[in-house]
Amino acid sequence: MKSTIRVLTTLALLFFLIGINKESAYAASDLNFNNNAYFEIGNGSQIDSTPKISVQALVKFTSLDVPQAIACKAEGGGFCLEYDVNDKTVQLSLYIDGVYRIANANSSPTLNTWYHIVGTYDGTNIRLYINGVLQDDVQSAPGQATKTPTTPFAIGQNPKAGGGSTYTKFHGYIREVSVWNKALTQTEVNSIRSNGVKGYESGLVGAWKPNSLTTGKVYDLTTKNMDGIGYRFSQAFPLIASSISDLGMNLSWTKSSEISSYKLVRGSSSLYSGTGNSYSEKALVSDTNYDYTLTAISTNGESIDSKTFKTAVGELAILQVPSAINFNPITLNGADQKSYGTFNQKIIVKDTRKSRNGWKLVVKAAPLKSSNGVRTFPSNKIALKPVSAITQTSGAVATKPSITNSTQLIDTSSVKKIVSAGTNTGQGVYEITLPSQALELSVNPSNAYVNPNGSSLNYYTDLTWTVEPGA
């Protein structure tokens, strides 16, 4: 006659939701300065090195109610291409021999209309061109425009020497700005208006072509590398965090065919460089702030977005234990026998606490009972072999927990420790594998019974798995 003994264990499941990042196209468009944003080209010392100068810009105004700076290096001297709200005209002002000299446009600009503006100074005359037409030719006593080497050159504002702005920032769109170390001629003005600035023209000091993809940095098209740093622009590629957990998060951003490369940095660590639009963090510390910077690199500049995200609070938990396990059936023959059971699943333990004091995995089996509730095996009959493998599946790389390297009786009055982790080990998620035939049941004929009619009788026990804090 046969007696089948079955082992039941507690089962815990954890479902992870993985966010899917949708990819959408984003194309470059004109950049709105919106009375708040601007580019600063550092000290711009190379702009100070010439006694003659030309400033060129392609702009569109969305407001004419306030004074506005287009391209300036003029605090305490220097030059500024700007809109004067009192005269309601565009003008070029230069500080020459202690006096500001100004060339004005003949008429007021119209809202939402593109204007090609060029201001020049040849050492004697200041000229202003609007859409290729000479507006003003102001003769001054020959002299060099006074430079302000401590003041940065800026697009969209007139900066102070010590920082900040003395002039209302630009309302509208700026598509192109260039500075020259010579006075452009009428022919050159017309050529630039028709063809734009390439970056290699004779006499060109610096050239910039802002667009919606250059909100963090606009490149200098020349070889002088006077790139402009963007401030307060709305970012074209905002960094988004989803599926934030105690171990990580999914980071994503909009994808554009006009971006040659995306670079993602956490703190000072480079995480990703490529053309994709997502990155997954899987080994972070729980309940911690992380600073990220995404740089999207295009032909004319960079879009830069910086964000801080915080991971979720960590926990110590068992995520999975083996489900029902069957011992092989036993045919009673009057002698001592053994039956073996193999676990069909791994045990998964998670410790993502920010402050940890170690942990231990313990197990306890209840005495075997018959399915009819009449018979109970005595204690010390169920043994568990040592763990065969521990594998870390997520979290920062850490030293593995320790294994109790002995077979232990688990149907006793106390729990039995099978794995332990110290304060500096066991951080993350671990899969714990038990060997084949890990459970061993000792059957004595004096304790084993079948049904009165001789049919087989099932026995069962419950295994209780517990993860406890403390090494």
- For 203-213, what is each residue's pLDDT tens digit? 999 999 999 99
Spatial distance between the Cα atoms of 73 and 96, rounded to a whole number of angstroms? 14
Domain formed by 38-231, architecture: Sandwich (2.60)
- Mean pLDDT estimate for the chain: 88
Q: What is the mean pLDDT of residues 378-399?
A: 93
Q: Single out the residue of 35, 143, 140 nearest to residue 85, CA to CA.
A: 35
* Interatomic CA distance for residues 34 and 20, integer angstroms: 34
Residue with the larger pLDDT of the pair 445 and 72: 72
Residues 23-30: what's their mean pLDDT?
58
pLDDT-wise least confident of 62-66, 360-364, 368-372, 381-385 = 368-372
Q: Where are the beta strands (DSSP E) in 298-358?
A: 301-310, 316-320, 325-326, 330-331, 337-341, 347-351
pLDDT surpasses 50 at 31: yes
Q: Identify which has the larger pLDDT, 181 or 27.
A: 181
**pLDDT digit string, tens, across residues 105-126:** 999 999 999 999 999 999 899 9
Helix (H, G, I), strand (E, B) or coil at 250: strand
pLDDT tens digits, one per residue of 262-306 = 999 999 999 999 999 999 999 999 999 999 999 999 999 999 999
136: confidence class by pLDDT, cuts 50, 70, 90:
very high
Q: What pLDDT score does 8 carry?
A: 38
Answer whether 49's CB lies under 8 Å from 73's CB. Answer: no
Query: Would you place residue 15 in the very low, low, confident or very high pLDDT band (cuts 50, 70, 90)?
Result: very low
Single out the residue of 199, 208, 163 nearest to residue 33, CA to CA: 208
Contacts of residues 238-244 at CB distance under 8 Å and 24 or more positions apart, as own/partner, are 238/305, 238/307, 239/264, 239/292, 239/294, 239/305, 239/306, 239/307, 241/307, 241/309, 242/19, 242/21, 243/17, 243/18, 243/19, 244/309, 244/310, 244/311, 244/312
Is residue 230 scored above 90 in pLDDT? yes
466 DSSP assignment: E
Specify the pTM.
0.79
Contact 70, 128 (CB under 8 A): no
* pLDDT (0 to 100) of residue 25: 42
The values of phi and psi at residue 48, to 5°, are -80, -5
Tell me the torsion sign for CA atoms 171, 177, 181, 183. negative
Write down the pLDDT at residue 430.
96
Exposed e or buried b per residue across 33-58, where buried means at least 16 C-beta atoms within 10 angstroms of its C-beta: bbbebbbbbebbebbbebebbbbbbb
- Confidence tier at 10 by pLDDT (50, 70, 90): very low
Higher pLDDT, 17 or 177: 177
Task: Quote the pLDDT of residue 14.
Answer: 27
Question: 3-state SS of the chain: helix, strand, coil percent to 5?
Answer: 5, 45, 55
Please list the residues that pair with 138 across neighbouring strands. Answer: 126
Amino acid at 214: T
**How far apart are alpha carbons 460 and 377 in whole angstroms?**
10
41 or 44, higher pLDDT: 41
High-pLDDT (> 90) share of the chain, %: 67
Q: Is the pLDDT of residue 60 over 50?
A: yes
Section 187-201 average pLDDT:
97
Instruction: Give the confidence band of 22 by pLDDT, cuts at 50, 70, 90.
Output: very low
Average of per-residue pLDDT across 385-403? 93
In this prediction, residues 3-15 reach a mean pLDDT of: 30
Q: Residue 467: pLDDT band by 50, 70, 90 thresholds?
A: very high
CB burial string 224-252: b at 16+ within 10 A, e below: eebbbbbbebebbbebbbeebbbbbbbbb
How far apart, in whole angstroms, are the C-alpha atoms of residue 453 and residue 6? 21
Biggest CA–CA distance in the chain, Å, is 127
Q: What is the mean pLDDT of residues 383-391?
A: 97
**Residue 293, C-beta contacts closer than 8 angstroms, at least 6 positions apart:** 264, 265, 304, 305, 306
Domain segments of the chain: what residues? 2-15+315-469, 38-231, 240-310
Higher pLDDT, 17 or 95: 95
DSSP 341-366: E--SS-EEEEE--SS---EEEEEEEP
Query: So what's the pLDDT on residue 143?
Result: 61
Res. 357 pLDDT band, cuts 50 70 90: very high
pLDDT, one tens digit per residue, over 235-256 is 889 999 999 999 999 999 999 9
Question: Which range (26-40, 154-168, 203-217, 248-262) has the least confidence?
Answer: 154-168
- Percent of the residues in the chain that have a pLDDT greater than 70, as a whole number: 88
Fold of 240-310: Immunoglobulin-like (2.60.40)
Residue with tokens 């003029």: 74
Is the confidence at residue 347, as pLDDT, over 50? yes
Beta-carbon-side half-sphere exposure of residue 29 (alpha carbons within 13 Å): 8
State the pLDDT confidence band at 447, using cuts at 50, 70 and 90: confident
